[in-house]
Amino acid sequence: MVAALRYLGRVGLGFFQRLGRANLLLLAILPGLPPLFLRFSLVVRQLYSVGVLSLLIILVSGVFVGMVLGLQGYNTLVDFGAEESLGVVVALSLVRELGPVVTALLFAGRAGSALTAEIGLMKATEQLSAMEMMAVDPIRRVLAPRFMAGFLAMPLLAAIFSTVGVMGGWFVGVGLLGVDDGSYWSQMQAKVDLYDDVWNGVIKSIMFGAVVTWIAIFEGYDAVPTSEGVSRATTRTVVHSALAVLGLDFVLTALMFGG
């Protein structure tokens, strides 16, 4: 009994200690962001690895998610004779929910895990300590550019995902199932609001980008510097990012569309 309580206490303390360290790390990274505008090449290199290299998976999943939405939406809507509203169904679900959320999950798997592994290995091979010896602050030189790149890349990736998804839905709905081309686009434009839907989706994706990158960087920086520690940290990045994204999505949706 006492042992169980003690275990619970240890788990709880460990959780709050990690949360505290993660917050301290974020506070240390934030002042490192503005000077990056003077050395933007550091960010560009990171944008390449988190943004450009994630493009393929984003494009492919975007097309298929859009095509599935087109098929499923058509099958449901055709019963009510409302298949003209297919564009609205596809665009709203993509722009509001699936675009930001699925992109964030893929981003955590594709870019977040890579970030953790890279930073964790840098720590394990003592590259970060070597930088400190040379009076280079690894938080500013290594972590801040990666954080900024993740934060910038996510909204762009989510926008690409949604756009490609709308095209995929269009291809299935208009191209294969015979929904009218004009009503697909005009109904979409009538029902999708720039501020309520598109802009809130962009805000969501920015928040998700920040959270996923934060988790990835923290897990890498906080990893036990052994090969097992790095592999555990990488797993934790993906799991915790996915949980954080889904939980945060509920909170943001309730704030944006609930009231």
Partner 1 sequence: MTSRTTEIWVGLFVAAGLAALFMLAMKVSNLNTYQTGPTYEVTARFEDVSGLKERSPVTMAGVRIGRVKRIEFDDQALQAVVTLAIDKRHNRLPRDTSASIYTAGLLGEKYVALEAGGEEESLKNGDEIRLTQDSMVLEKLIAKFIAKFLQDKTQ
Binding site for partner 1 (CB under 8 A): 41, 44-45, 47-48, 51-52, 55, 91, 95, 153, 155-157, 159-160, 162-164, 166, 185, 188-190, 192-194, 197-198, 202
Question: Is the Cβ of residue 95 or residue 139 nearer to partner 1 in the bound state?
Answer: 95
From CA 97, how far away is CA 245, in angstroms rounded?
11
The SS3 assignment for 185 reads helix
CB of 251 to partner 1, least distance (A): 23
Question: Is the Cβ of residue 143 or residue 166 nearer to partner 1 in the bound state?
Answer: 166
CB of 152 to partner 1, least distance (A): 8
Locate 195 and state its tokens.
Answer: 């501020």
Question: Is the Cβ of residue 192 or residue 230 nearer to partner 1 in the bound state?
Answer: 192
Question: Is the Cβ of residue 153 or residue 230 nearer to partner 1 in the bound state?
Answer: 153
From CA 214, how far away is CA 104, in angstroms rounded?
13
Could you write out the DSSP letters of every residue in 7-57? HHHHHHHHHHHHHHHHHHHHHHHGGGSGGGGTTHHHHHHHHHHHTGGGHHH
154 vs 52, 145, 175, CA distance in Å?
11, 14, 30
**230, 117 Cβ separation under 8 angstroms:** yes
From CA 133, how far away is CA 41, in angstroms rounded?
24
CB of 240 to partner 1, least distance (A): 26
Question: Is the Cβ of residue 101 or residue 233 nearer to partner 1 in the bound state?
Answer: 101
Burial class (CB within 10 angstroms; exposed 0-12, middle 13-18, buried 19+) of 125: exposed
CB of 193 to partner 1, least distance (A): 6
Question: Is the Cβ of residue 30 or residue 53 nearer to partner 1 in the bound state?
Answer: 53
**214, 21 Cβ separation under 8 angstroms:** no
CB of 42 to partner 1, least distance (A): 11
From CA 122, how far away is CA 227, in angstroms rounded?
11
**131, 73 Cβ separation under 8 angstroms:** no
CB of 150 to partner 1, least distance (A): 13
Question: Is the Cβ of residue 52 or residue 130 nearer to partner 1 in the bound state?
Answer: 52
CB of 47 to partner 1, least distance (A): 5
